Amino acid sequence: MVFLTLLVTFICIFYGVQLIRLLASDCDLVLQWKLKFGNTMAALSGQVVWITGASSGVGEQLALEFAAAGCKLVLSARRPDELERVKHQCIESGRLSPDDILIVPLDLLDFGSHPHAVMNVLQYYSQIDILVNNAGRSQRAAWEETSLDVDRYCMELNVLGTLSLTKNVLPHMINRGEGHIVVMGAVEGKIGAPFSASYTGAKHALQGYFDSLRLEMHNHNIGVSIICPGPTFSNLLENAFTGTIATNYGMKMDPNDRRMDTARCARLIILAVANKLDEVWIARHPLLLVMYLCQYCPSFGQWILCHFGKKMLLTAKSGARV
């Protein structure tokens, strides 16, 4: 009886501590632990990192943080002039020379250009250590008002473009016997999100594809990390699809919005990469807590979402205070 009492007490204390840790954090508990006791960004120094969508937002900040860690960079996006600007900022960090940063303009929808882009990178660096699939585009419209063209475009850009580039990089990593694929998922890839079904569906698809790849690559020494960030400051809403291809959402984020700082998000992502974590959640509360509920108490989590989640998720996605 005494043993049972001690066991119950220990379990209560353990889960109480975990709850306190969770409520005090802006990332999942495993990543939080690695922040204190895991590898630092310095573990990535000297590695060749290819970042798509590197011309703005989280991709731009990732480039700056990887540069600060001493990584050699490949920067890709559709706008070469913006990539040059980001390259200049990375050089100003003091860790890299101009020769340590290669610009490779890339349109993810131009699948035929991907083999040539990979060849250019390998000719320049001879290796690709980390591929960061960051490029993509969001969407905002009601489910029934979203045209099938938008659904198709979201899938081709966010999913098939990412798959195509990865399929062209992967054989090189397999031949080397090492490598790391990083995929920018989203909170929407774990739970449903109202008025963002096309984007949500695409992120769920990425989750399935790359969870499968992780299992297949386990014996090849190739890591696969899926990053699931919540609302973060970027130009995501300006360029987001609406219900039609022709119209962008066009909303600028208010600096006073309750979103995660872009630099903070990028640092957490790089630390997840440095520790080769399979999946990480990066979000502020209450979104992070809802993710845990949906993961570990799915019926209760879905009940919460159905009864209170629509307003809460819309508020969180808009950046306003919950």
Which residue numbers are catalytic?
199
* 110-125 as b/e: b if 16+ CB within 10 A: ebebbeebbeebeeeb
- Cβ-proximal residues to 36 (8 Å cutoff; 6+ apart), any chain: none
Residue 315 burial (CB count, 10 A): 16
- Cβ-proximal residues to 91 (8 Å cutoff; 6+ apart), any chain: 67, 97, 98, 101
Sign of CA dihedral 89, 94, 97, 102: negative
DSSP H or E run through 290: helix 287-296
Say if CB 291 and CB 283 are below 8 A apart: yes
* C-alpha to C-alpha distances, 91 to 46, 154, 321, nearest whole angstrom: 15, 34, 37
Q: Report the phi/psi class of residue 195: left, alpha or beta, with left for phi > 0 and alpha for psi in -120 to 50.
A: left
